[in-house]
Amino acid sequence: MSQTKSMILVIATAWVLIGMGLTARGEILEFEATLDGICAQTGSAATGSGSFTLDTNTGLFSYNISISSIPSGEAFAHIHGNAPDPCSQPNQGFVAISLPLGSPKIGSQTIGALEQTDLINGEYYVNIHSNDFLDGEISGPIEQIFPPAPASSTWGLVIMVLLILAAGTVCLTMSCTPSPSSARI
């Protein structure tokens, strides 16, 4: 096998190993929400915010939501799913998670693969209902926070460098020139 073919084989093997390492593990995805009367179309001055995580291995969806300034009192609260544009049509979608009253609202729940896809696609939102606005006084979409894309996997680079070094060592200790029997005529 020529030195060029050996190097191509080594690099291809390294990229396969890198790809296996990146896809075999799950991720912890982060999300955030800003709650206000603008999204809920109530004009309320009440506000809120939330931070969320999703473990894609287990489906564990965790939330920490804080609200303030709801004069008539909080009636109930939910996280809704299957709502492609929650601010254009308030109070849409199904109730995915019923939230406790008060602030902060901290908890977690396992969600299925379909619900995870909806969440990642931005089809989940928080809706805080009050005594004055039973359809929801403040609400806001749950949006994924995208970290900067990594340049490459550190372990993948280490593996690739080691494989390239190993291929180079083989060529240094053995003849990398084609033998006469493998030469083409």
Q: Where are the domains of the chain?
A: 3-24+149-176, 28-145
C-alpha–C-alpha distance, residues 99 and 184, integer Å: 73
Of the candidates 110, 115, 143, 140, the one whose C-alpha atom is nearest the C-alpha of residue 128 is 140
Q: Angle CA(20)–CA(23)–CA(27) in degrees, nearest 5? A: 145
- Is 80 exceeded by the pLDDT of residue 95? yes
pLDDT of residue 90: 73
- What does the pLDDT look like over 157-185, one tens digit per residue? 666 666 666 666 555 555 555 555 555 55
The number of CA neighbours under 13 Å toward the Cβ of 107 is 13
- What does the pLDDT look like over 2-50, one tens digit per residue? 665 555 555 655 555 555 444 445 799 999 999 999 999 999 999 999 9
pLDDT of residue 20: 46
Of the candidates 146, 163, 148, 149, the one whose C-alpha atom is nearest the C-alpha of residue 18 is 163
What pTM does this model have?
A: 0.68
C-alpha–C-alpha distance, residues 140 and 46, integer Å: 12
% pLDDT > 70, the chain: 66
The class of domain 28-145 in CATH terms is mainly beta
Averaged confidence pLDDT in the chain: 81
- Is 50 exceeded by the pLDDT of residue 156? yes
pLDDT of residue 22: 44
DSSP code string of 79-142: EEES-S-TTTSSS-SEEEEEEPSSS-EEEEEE--HHHHHHHHTT--EEEEEESS-TT-SEEEE-
Cis amide leading into 104 (omega within 30)? yes
**10 or 108, which is more confident:** 108
